[in-house]
A and B are shown apart, each in its own frame.
Chain A
Amino acid sequence: MSVTSPPGNMDVGGFRWGLRAWLDEHDLSPGPDHSLDAQVAQLARVRRALFDADWMRYGWPAEVRGLGGPAVLRAVLGEEVATRELAEPGIYSMIEVLAPTMISYAPPALAAEMVPRLLSGREQWCQGFSEPGSGSDLASLTTRAVPRDGHWVINGQKVWTSLAQFAARCVLLTRTAPGHNGITAFFVDMDTPGITVRPLRTMHGVDEFAEVFFDDVVVPADRMLGQPGDGWRLAMDLLPHERSTCFWHRIAHLYTRLDRLVAETSIPDDAELGAAYLALHTVRCRSHATQRRLAEGERLGAETSVDKVLLATAEQRLFETVRDLLPGVLELTDTPWRSEYLYAKAATIYGGTAEIQRNIIARRLLDLGRE
């Protein structure tokens, strides 16, 4: 084993040390093209290189060609990727939501076949939950799946589906019966006849999401994730994944932006700079504690809404500070700050809005009863 290959005992320090040494030797820096196409291609390149060198396989179970070890190694890897700005952290982290969902809910053979394609950058996937009529009120979704001749036939529409235009597969929520227990998840090939993807323009100029139309789309029965009616539980189980490892990655990314702001600003507003730093430090401490609880085998739940509120608040505060301390820059010049500033606006919308998080905290953590 060379000095730069992953350590056998997989302790965090050794993993990080080996990873850094490897990344120092293997330049995966992105090119000058910042278009979404280029970002997605860069993401695939980074994943493939990290998978082939085994780094991407740590923290995942052997059933999906992982090399085992604690999940925290994935947080360490993502932090390193974000800190070195190798891949856009939002799309890099989607793996943390999609792969665990497949491991928990897909038939084992399907997970074994598919998850390595995602981990290795050979495919992108998307998550089709939201619909035009069902955002926060996800349980009201109406995209219908009906059994026919041993298959399921799907009709309906999804919206704001990130990376749908690049995705080979979709983790899709459908309705098979009324109520929360009538939601069923499928793993759908995006090239199935009847699927139409229409990219949407976004406010920040990176058109990351799309509308997806399902018109008599036939899906084999063995593509169901879990049992009929398990879809709601699947959606809820996915949140703690999103709010642990993905968040750690995003926080690492935001620190790079704070560093950049410190380097670029000439305005000595220490109070505002300090407040942005304090908010970021707070969510980093919180996310660190969440990682530790995860490592101790605790089941994460409603308390991750606190992580979500802290992160969204910190992100928006940081980019307001950018706007204040680099006056005129994002308004008048074509700089990456502009797009990043605008993207921060979505932090209180995606993954459960700020209000929904507060509703959850009030109901579940403060035990205030129903509204």
Chain B
Amino acid sequence: MDAAERDLLAETLRKTMTAATGQALDASLTDLGWAELLAEQPDIAVPLTFRLLGETGAHAPLLNDVLLNAAGRPVGGTLPLPYTGGTWVVWERDDSAAGTTLDAELPLHTVPAGPPVPLAAGRVALGWWLVGTGRAMLALARQHAVDRVQFGRPLASFQAVRHRLAETFVALDGAEVTLVAATDELGALLAKAAAGQAALTAARHCQQVLGGVGFTAEHDLHRHVRRAMVLDGLLGSARELTREAGALLRAGGSAPRLVHL
């Protein structure tokens, strides 16, 4: 797939995700050939699709497919997914299961522990989603900072505001390169940790920059904040994964260098 084809695909996906979410989006993506794209070009399909889920604020039960595909099983079903704190959840494919998590749009519910899942593929996918969610929050906060005037000047002219947004930008860019570099188990673990941390950093700073309006239910921010928090816990939270990385270092006696010139 060349750059132009990829742009076209991104445009199509973005339109589709803007038009539908959840079960309906799942169906639209199936019609668009999601299963084939995932099977044939996961390195393109996963970053693009999951980042766009984050950026558009849409959701779909595609994480199941990524894990099933990585396990060499047919896509389209569900499987138990480890959640932070030793809990397990299922991401249902129909919307009727929605309503119980912090992000009430997501059809997740807890289930008894299941068999091991191919974590690396899932963590990378979730990492891209989290970075996309972070970018969505940054875009909202940036626009607000530029548009809203206080003390006779735009919020964007206040250095405290600028530095919060800059901090968010750095965290997201940093997480993104770890995702690009994630080619093995440890790389995926670190990338999911970086992405979770970046999305939560974005949530904190963007919430503050958006002030009162960001606290209203009409404003989209809270949807992204909730999504970031729920996705962070899936397949290991930033906090858990960071601790796990530390334990790996101590067990191995040194710090693995994962990317090389």
Is A bound to B? yes
State the A residues within 8 Å of B (CB): 12, 16, 72, 75-76, 79, 248, 255, 258-259, 262-263, 268-275, 277-278, 280-286, 288-289, 291, 303, 306, 309-310, 355, 357-359, 361-363, 365-366, 368-371
CB atoms of B157 and A370 under 8 A apart:
yes
Which one, B169, B242, B250, B260, contacts A361 given CB within 8 A?
B169
Which one, B142, B243, B249, B253, contacts A368 given CB within 8 A?
B142
Which chain A residues lie closer than 8 Å to B193 at the CB level?
274, 278
Does any Cβ of A come within 8 Å of B181's Cβ? yes
Q: Who on chain B is nearest to A288 by CB? A: B259
Which chain A residues lie closer than 8 Å to B244 at the CB level?
270, 274
CB atoms of B162 and A286 under 8 A apart:
no
CB atoms of A306 and B156 under 8 A apart:
no
State the B residues within 8 Å of A (CB): 142, 145-146, 154, 156-159, 162-163, 165-167, 169-170, 173-175, 177-178, 180-181, 190, 193-194, 197, 239, 241-247, 249-250, 253-255, 257-261
CB atoms of A310 and B170 under 8 A apart:
yes
Q: Given known contacts A269-B246, A274-B243, A368-B162, is B178 in contact with A285 (CB within 8 Å)?
A: yes
Q: Give the distance to chain B from A60, nearest Cβ to Cβ, in Å.
A: 17
CB atoms of A273 and B249 under 8 A apart:
yes
Which chain A residues lie closer than 8 Å to B246 at the CB level?
269-275, 277
Q: Given known contacts A282-B175, A368-B145, A369-B156, is B261 in contact with A72 (CB within 8 Å)?
A: yes
Which chain B residues lie closer than 8 Å to A275 at the CB level?
242, 246
Q: Give the distance to chain A from B181, nearest Cβ to Cβ, in Å.
A: 4
CB atoms of A282 and B157 under 8 A apart:
no
Q: Give the distance to chain A from B148, nearest Cβ to Cβ, in Å.
A: 12
A355 to B166, CA, bound (A): 10
A288 to B163, CA, bound (A): 25
CB atoms of B162 and A262 under 8 A apart:
no
A-B contact pairs, 9 of them (CB 8 A): A72-B261, A255-B257, A258-B255, A273-B250, A303-B173, A355-B163, A363-B162, A368-B146, A370-B157
CB atoms of B261 and A288 under 8 A apart:
yes
Q: Who on chain A is nearest to B258 by CB? A: A281
Q: Give the distance to chain B from A246, nearest Cβ to Cβ, in Å.
A: 14
Which chain B residues lie closer than 8 Å to A365 at the CB level?
166, 169
Q: Who on chain A is nearest to B244 by CB? A: A274
Which chain B residues lie closer than 8 Å to A76 at the CB level?
261
Which one, B166, B175, B190, B243, contacts A366 given CB within 8 A?
B166
CB atoms of B174 and A286 under 8 A apart:
yes
Which chain B residues lie closer than 8 Å to A355 at the CB level?
163
8 nearest A-B residue pairs (beta carbon)? A274-B246, A270-B246, A273-B246, A362-B162, A274-B245, A361-B166, A274-B242, A358-B166
A310 to B173, CA, bound (A): 10
Q: Given known contacts A274-B247, A306-B169, A362-B165, is B159 in contact with A371 (CB within 8 Å)?
A: yes
Q: Who on chain B is nearest to A303 by CB? A: B173
CB atoms of A358 and B167 under 8 A apart:
yes
CB atoms of A359 and B180 under 8 A apart:
no
Q: Who on chain B is nearest to A258 by CB? A: B255
CB atoms of A368 and B169 under 8 A apart:
no
CB atoms of A255 and B255 under 8 A apart:
yes
CB atoms of A277 and B156 under 8 A apart:
no
Q: Give the distance to chain B from A7, nearest Cβ to Cβ, in Å.
A: 15
Q: Given known contacts A271-B243, A274-B245, A306-B169, is B258 in contact with A289 (CB within 8 Å)?
A: no
